[in-house]
Amino acid sequence: MGLWLFLFSELILFGGMFIIYAVYRFMHAGEFRLAAAELDPFIGTINTMILLTSSLTVAMSITAIQQGRKYLSMVLVSSTLVLGLVFLVNKYFEWSHKISIGIYPQSPELMNKPQGEILYFGLYYVMTGLHAIHVIIGMAVLGFMLVFIAKGSVNRESFVKLEAGALYWHLVDIIWIFLFPLFYLIH
Amino acid sequence: MTQHEEDHKQHRVPYGEYILVWFGLLALTCLTVALAGIELGRWVIITALIIASVKSLLVLNVFMHLKYEDRMFRIFALVALVTFIIFISLTFFDYAFH
């Protein structure tokens, strides 16, 4: 229950930013579309599938621990971590590409563009950045879970911690489910 | 073991169900991308949001177990969601009539 309350607070955090996005997009529809063309929908789609798969693996890790299959559970949690890492690596490539062509907050290149595009990229960096921080936190939490499973303090009798970690991870996935079409699929 | 953990031991979601949902999520992702390519004009954003909502409901209900939890949790989640929708609506209402 406590964790669900925390998730609701995260919802408000990201929700607030989605609202800002909505209003600015409403105000600068054309420029948002122009700016979105800089993003690569292919990488975005791959990243979406990566996070969806990582949610699958962490969900299955709970069934595994319920069955007492400690090794399988650890393999599944590790897979989740690997997938999370791949996601972050992709984001790194995306960001560094944009930065290399001069598009980053306050860059001269960006400041010369129309207001709508400046807002779009500002939102892009803040929202995907905050999301990436949450991915890192989620990975740290799951990393701890992996150790707990190994040591036996998370086991078939007591696995609430793992469930909590998994819930947090699913939230991170859901946030991306919304970020993806709103930033990558504006045509 | 807490009461909550006791109740939990009852429902174990089979791997197959998780995998089925996962396929559904991947399919919906492909659908979203495909629809973004067609000329839907102003409808593209609402269809994208509807599909994203369906995906979220799948993740919430199955991956996050909400379907199997106490009704209390589902009510809380619904209240949170409705609150958020009210925030968005009021914002747009305010913006549109200012």
H helix count then E strand count, chain A: 7, 0
Neighbours of A104 (CB within 10 A): 15
Identify which has the larger pLDDT, A148 or B71. A148
pLDDT at A174: 94
Q: How would you classify residue A25: left for phi > 0, otherwise alpha for psi between -120 and 50, otherwise beta?
A: alpha
Tokens 């560094």 belong to residue: A96
Domain range for B76 is 70-98
pLDDT digits (tens, 9 = 90+) for A159-174: 999 999 999 999 999 9
Same domain, yes or no, for B34 and B51?
yes
Identify which has the larger pLDDT, B69 or A144. A144
pLDDT digits (tens, 9 = 90+) for A95-110: 999 999 999 998 999 9
Beta carbons of A135 and A81 less than 8 angstroms apart: no
Read off the tokens for A96.
């560094």
Same domain, yes or no, for B79 and B55?
no
Closest Cα of chain B to A176: distance in Å? 10
Closest Cα of chain A to B32: distance in Å? 8
pLDDT at B83: 83
Cβ contact, residue pair B59, A178, below 8 Å? no
Distances (CA, A) of B80 to A134, A174, B2: 20, 15, 26
Same domain, yes or no, for B17 and B60?
yes
Same domain, yes or no, for B52 and B75?
no
Domain range for A83 is 2-184
> pLDDT averaged over chain B?
83
Which of B8, B22, B77 has the CB atom closest to A52's CB atom? B22
Same domain, yes or no, for B26 and B54?
yes
**Range A14-36 average pLDDT:** 90
Is B6 a domain residue? no
Q: What residues of chain B lie within 8 A of the CB of A13, using their CB?
A: none
Burial class (CB in 10 A: 0-12, 13-18, 19+), A106: exposed
**Range scoring the smallest mean pLDDT among A7-21, A91-105, A168-182, B40-54:** B40-54
Total number of domains in chain A: 1
Per-residue pLDDT at B98 exceeds 70: no
Strand (E) or helix (H) holding B51: helix B43-58
pLDDT at A29: 87
Closest Cα of chain B to A144: distance in Å? 20
Total number of domains in chain B: 2
Same domain, yes or no, for B30 and B54?
yes
CATH of the domain at A125: 1.20.120.80
Same domain, yes or no, for B97 and B60?
no
Residue A52: which of B67, B71, B19, B33 has the closest Cα? B19
What string of DSSP letters covers A93-138? HHHHHHHHTT-STT-HHHHTS-HHHHHHHHHHHHHHHHHHHHHHHH
